[in-house]
Amino acid sequence: MLCCQSRFRGLRRLLLAAVMCCAGLALLYSRKSVDDFSSGMTALNRGEFLEALESLQRLRHTRPNDDRTRLLSGAIRLRRGDASAAIEDFALLQPNGEIRSPALQWTGECLYALGRLTEAESCFQQLLQIHRDSAEAHRWLAAIYHDLGELNRSVEHLERLTQLAPHDYRPWRMMGSIHRDFEQFSEAAREYRAALDLQMPKGTRSEIVFELADVLMRGHEYRDALQVLTVSAGTAKTSSQIGQCHRALGNRDEAQQCLARAKAIDPKEVTVQRLDADIAADEERPRDAAALYEKILVQEPHNLECRYQLALAWRELGDVPRYDSEMEQLAHSRGLFEKLTALSTKAMSQPRDAELLNEIAQVCDQLGKHELAKSWRLATDAVKPQTMRESSPTR
């Protein structure tokens, strides 16, 4: 009897030791999986795909069906530009705990890349419920609402982003672009200036300088525009803009010098051709001006200012039929721009109206703004299922 009891106690200790060993191995594998996931994500964020793939291979070997494995796999696919494959990984996720936030962020980014804007919105809104001050959630929601035409909501997130990421120039630039589109030039100038106070790539800085100069000139702030442009002079575009400022200020010799420099750099640049045409008009050379404006209008058929100046040139040349024709074209183009402004304003108060968004896309196509039309059609497709569900008789 004692012998049996002794053997039983020994067996129990052996089983307990085995259980403890298995538990220790499980804990070891769990910690190893967490380490592989973390190192893989870190490598991916640095753009080191080979290291990220090595981490993924180890995860697939130790935990093939773990959410961390699927999340890293989907993230790698997304960063490689294959959102369709990435969403297959993200669709299998049932994340909880510490990986719920990164899972929402990566899934939202993937859905955005696929044009599924309202589903992406849901992911980032959930992320904000977990982390109210998530800069990435605010950044992506700003982009989503911008693409949906809900610009007031986009600006709200951009303003919050300027507080959460004070060294990031991008939200300032985006707000400047929104105000520029609505011809709110003083607001746009303020935001472009704020962007230029921050660090950014050299090429991007030149682009924002041009955008700032454009809104200053459209707001008739030519001296301020000159100060901005002289900082980054050297391209055909900036030289022609400087020339336009000198024209407006009555500095004809300086304008001519700018035109000569711009032509030497790139005579085919449309802003250079525009300066050339405007100087010809100033010097009362209507035939030369007409030829130059016609060349510009081949590239930009709905350029209102060039169309009007071309009409004036024909009138000075005594060609009344051509004058009347250009004025008709001008009225048509102006009507399209006015319609686009009215529809865009309406979209802010009537968000997610698929018919309205599609109408905006059609007007953009008529104006030759095909990339803009494409973005509005993307918004249309994103809200179509929602619109159809809300109008369904089964609801």
Does residue 151 belong to any structural domain of this protein?
no
Give backbone dihedrals phi and psi of 335, rounded to 5 degrees, phi first.
-60, -40
Instruction: Please identify, among 114, 148, 164, the residue that sits at the C-terminal boundary of a domain.
Output: 114
Instruction: Please identify, among 114, 139, 169, the residue that sits at the C-terminal boundary of a domain.
Output: 114
Instruction: List pLDDT tens digits, range 263-306.
Output: 999 999 999 999 999 999 999 999 999 999 999 999 999 999 99
Does residue 121 belong to any structural domain of this protein?
no
Number of structural domains (the chain) is 2
Catalogue the long-range contacts made by 346-351 (C-beta closer than 8 Å, 24 or more residues apart).
347/149, 347/150, 348/149, 348/150, 348/151, 348/152, 351/148, 351/149, 351/150
CATH code, 371: 1.25.40
* Cβ-proximal residues to 147 (8 Å cutoff; 6+ apart), any chain: 117, 375, 378, 379, 382
Does residue 158 belong to any structural domain of this protein?
no
Does residue 98 belong to any structural domain of this protein?
yes
Does residue 206 belong to any structural domain of this protein?
no
Does residue 103 belong to any structural domain of this protein?
yes
- Would you state the pLDDT for residue 26? 38
Range in 82-86, 139-143, 229-233 with the lowest mean pLDDT: 229-233
Instruction: List pLDDT tens digits, range 163-199.
Output: 999 999 999 999 999 999 989 999 999 999 999 999 9
Does residue 181 belong to any structural domain of this protein?
no
Identify the CA nearest to 194 among candidates 207, 176, 179, 220.
176
Instruction: List pLDDT tens digits, range 203-262.
Output: 899 899 999 999 999 999 999 999 999 876 678 999 999 999 999 999 999 999 999 999
Instruction: List pLDDT tens digits, range 201-216.
Output: 988 998 999 999 999 9
Does residue 191 belong to any structural domain of this protein?
no
User: Confidence band (pLDDT; 50, 70, 90) for 20?
Assistant: very low
- Provide the domain limits for residue 343: 299-383
Instruction: Please identify, among 54, 82, 114, the residue that sits at the C-terminal boundary of a domain.
Output: 114
CATH code, 86: 1.25.40.10
- Would you state the pLDDT for residue 203? 86
